[in-house]
Structure 1
């Protein structure tokens, strides 16, 4: 199978690219290389005959048409998106342009290509989304595939809009679509503006470790390589028109997660005082969702997938990866906004 992966130089996209090539799939990595992308993420497969790279923007329809014609993909895995909630608060326009208009352009390019090929039944358009489109949970309950949409940030609203577009193109035009909504990912190659890398890198640098509010917000943590496995499974075996929630089954309060990372660093790179002494509680993010938690029974029961990496094992692997790969993350810290407190303009 030849797969067109959008956003394949990003965090989750690169995990998909590496795994797909390892599984023997041909991969075309389409990425416009924004601030959060890094070709080092796919360096391990860059010389593989199964891999090709196209620097292009999903907002550029002409480029998309050329790429479909040139590479003739059997499937699309759409991961390209603006994804940092704090940045969406400060600058929502980029999220509407990329996540909504960009998805529209990609759907239209895919539909034109699929139609020109005689509408093959085995073509797939797999849209990868987030559990944030469902809003915020209370102390109990889980997001299911039937949970009503209730986005609370410009980021989640833009992803909700893109989900709706994909479903509409499936219903109206018959484009063979599948959708997935995932919980919070973590692991190697995570861009250093997200929570777990921020904690690790600030701790190592002796800087304050910021925790929003009282740290009571709960997330379900999914190791990125587990997620990549699930995404390829949905692409190849998921039912057309079906959506699948993908979660790690690892709920943690933010403050507990941060303390766990500090304890791992205490063991792996000890210093005179505990890393947890660097924790500082800061003003909360506007509209900060209280809790996300995924009910992953559909993908488990229908496709046989379940997360294999516990949060304890995953955090150990992740911390060790950052300790071993300073040459990857140090250059990224100089990029615009990285290390700054964003999302306060509201």
Structure 2
């Protein structure tokens, strides 16, 4: 029935979602549009390529002509495509603004012209900014601290404006920190796992007291599917409900999984604008959509650690290949070298 376009579907969360949704009997076709920058790999889609439903299109969401051609053939969109790593946004803000804001506009504008039936815009809890105490509902003000979060907050507003102005049936999801197999090793969990498995140290910012909510990627994808199917246009849905951990507590789990001791930790000065705590209220998604995350963090981290232990062929090239960190062409060449270092969050 549904002809679904998934932008950024070769990325971490996007590929998990594609592998999930392609099994649905009422989904007739799934087209993945992905620019295959450093964090998007066709290998992430794995067994999805066995399905005759899947079409893969290499391309950038900034390519308005390509986007328009694809949109004409689809009835719904799930929009994952984004630059997403906080530390990278410090030296490549132009790429984040171009992809996350203008790219989102390009997708929305094509969706408006072709009358799509549903548009799910995937965002992040980081748009709410730091919450030393309390919890952000969907009505909380947006107070992003870093260029990445600011670009996502701006894209959220653009998406919602297309509902208000043009009746594009947009829903926005904002999830907490995701983890699981196939995540790029620039992120803290795969970075620490791959370092510890090689007997190398890991670094923590400050005193390791920054708090994040950790949500298994499969739970997030279940929530996104619920929004796609039952979400009300114009509404925002927080998708949390994982486990709150300080960076020190998270590292303790990873040390135990890898048989390492606290001697493997090096503490370094905190980075700029490192928000002390995020917290979102997911009552709305639970009450309205039946969203229920069910992955235990200990089991989820153990499963993730085992995956990285068994699949070095998939992540090792990303640690050493200088082309693995390339940025979109709009970024000056001098800004494209990204050292893979233990960067925290």
- TM-score, with length taken from structure 1: 0.92
Aligned counterpart in structure 2 of residue 151 of structure 1, from 135, 144, 153: 144
Distance 1:81 1:338 in 2: 20
SS in 1 for 2:9: coil
- Structure 2 residue aligned with 1:287: 273
Provide the C-alpha distance between the structure 2 equivalents of 1:217 and 1:8, rounded to a whole number of angstroms: 30
**1:75-94 paired onto structure 2 within 5 Å:** 75-94=76-95
Q: Which of 108, 111, 133 matches 2:127?
A: 133
1:263 paired residue among 253, 256, 267: 256
Q: Which moved more, 1:280-289 or 1:5-14?
A: 280-289
* Contact map agreement 1:132 1:156 (CA 8 A) in 2: yes
Structure 2 unmatched ranges of 5 or more? 326-337
The reply on whether 1:73 has 2:78 as its aligned counterpart is: no
Contact 1:166 1:177 in 2 (8 A): yes
Aligned 8 A contact 1:21 1:27 in 2: yes
Q: CA deviation at 1:341?
A: 5.8
**1:15-34: CA deviations, max 9, x gaps?**
11000112232210000101
**Is the Cα–Cα contact under 8 Å of residues 192 and 342 in structure 2 kept in the other structure?**
no
Please name the residue that 1:2 is paired with. Answer: 3
Query: How many residues are paired up?
Result: 326
Alpha-carbon distance between aligned partners in 2 of 1:311 and 1:284, rounded to the nearest angstrom: 26
Gaps of at least 5 residues in structure 1 are 115-119, 267-273
Q: CA deviation at 1:338?
A: 5.3
The answer for the alignment partner of 1:44 in structure 2 is 47
1:12, distance to aligned residue in structure 2 (A) = 0.4
Which residue of structure 2 lines up, in the alignment, with residue 271 of structure 1? Answer: none
Work out the CA distance in 2 between the residues paired with 1:338 and 1:39: 23
Does the Cα contact within 8 Å between 2:10 and 2:45 map onto a contact in 1? yes
Report the Cα distance in structure 2 between the residues aligned to 1:342 and 1:275, rounded to whole angstroms.
20
Of 16, 37, 60, which aligns to 1:57?
A: 60
CA contact (8 A) 2:127 2:144 kept: yes
Aligned position for 1:227:
220
Measure, in 1, the Cα distance between the counterparts of 2:286 and 2:107.
29
Aligned CA-pair RMSD? 1.3
Q: Give the corresponding residue for 2:308.
A: 322
- Correspondence 1:208 to 2:201: yes
**TM-score scaled by length of structure 2:** 0.92
Separation (CA, whole Å) in 2 of partners of 1:286 and 1:246: 27
Q: In the alignment, is the contact (CA less than 8 A) between 1:223 and 1:248 conserved in 2?
A: no
Instruction: Decide whether the 8 Å contact of 1:128 with 1:179 is kept in 2.
Output: yes
Other structure's SS at 2:74 match = coil
Q: Deviations over 1:18-64 (max 9, x none)?
A: 00112232210000101111111102111310100011111110110
- Displacement of 1:174 in angstroms is 0.7
Query: What is the CA distance between 1:342 and its match in structure 2?
Result: 6.3
Instruction: Please give the alpha-carbon distance, in whole angstroms, between the structure 2 residues aligned to 1:213 and 1:223.
Output: 26
Correspondence for 1:100: 101
